[in-house]
Amino acid sequence: MISSKEDRLARFEAFAEAVSDDRQATQSRMESLRNQGKVRTATYQQLLANKMTLDQIIARLSDAGIDLK
C-alpha cells in the first residue's frame, strides 16, 4: 500500500506527539511513586526503563531536527 506524503507526515506527527505524551505520563507516574517512597518497586523500575527508552527516541528525533520539547 502506497501512502501519500501527507498521510505519512500525519502518521509521523501523531507518533511524535504520542511519544511526547507517553514520556510526560511516565514522568508523572514516576514522580507519584517517588513521593510515596516506592522507588525500589518493580513498577517504578519498569517505568524508569520505559522513560529511558522514550528519552532515546526523543533524542534521535531531535538529532534529526525534530524538536518535541
Would you state the pLDDT for residue 57? 96
CA distances from 36 to 26, 29, 39, 41 (A): 16, 11, 8, 11
- Cβ neighbors of 69 (< 8 A, separation 6 or more) are 20, 58, 62
Would you state the pLDDT for residue 22? 98
The string of pLDDT tens digits covering residues 36-60 is 999 999 999 999 999 999 999 999 9
Query: pTM of the prediction?
Result: 0.83
